Copies of this chain bind each other. A is one copy, B any other.
Amino acid sequence: MGVTRTDIFSTEQNALADLAKAMGHPARIAILEYLLKSDTCICGDLVDVLPLSQPTVSQHLKVLKSVGLIKGCVEGTRVSYCIDREKWLAVRNQMNAFFDL
């Protein structure tokens, strides 16, 4: 019915699935790659770099933020996003653990 049965799975299974889902769009992969490269954590540039509209980029950023992979730092009128390094390492370990099962 278009709705995922999260209730019948473990917290860990849902968490891993949510992370994977957030990474399950090429635009979000591109955004993560861009943020990984630029430690300066620029945001508005993403709209220039990606051939997507500003609302669409904003939407993708929201998805990535919702799972904690990135953080938004407000700086005046601008919001500069950056990788949440702590979460990033945690997710890396989570992925490693899964693929080493």
Are the CB atoms of A20 and B24 closer together than 8 Å?
A: yes
Bound-state Cα–Cα, A26 to B3, Å = 12
From B9, B14, B16, B100, contact of A23 by CB (8 A): B16
By secondary structure, the A interface counts as: helix
Judged by a CB distance under 8 angstroms, whether A78 is at the interface is no
Bound-state Cα–Cα, A88 to B95, Å = 12
**Within A77-101, which residues are at the interface with B (CB < 8 Å)?**
88, 91-92, 95-96, 98-101
**Within A7-22, which residues are at the interface with B (CB < 8 Å)?**
8-10, 13-14, 16-18, 20-22
Specify the chain B residue showing the minimal Cβ separation from A51.
B8
Are the CB atoms of B17 and A20 closer together than 8 Å?
A: no
From B20, B26, B91, B95, contact of A14 by CB (8 A): B26
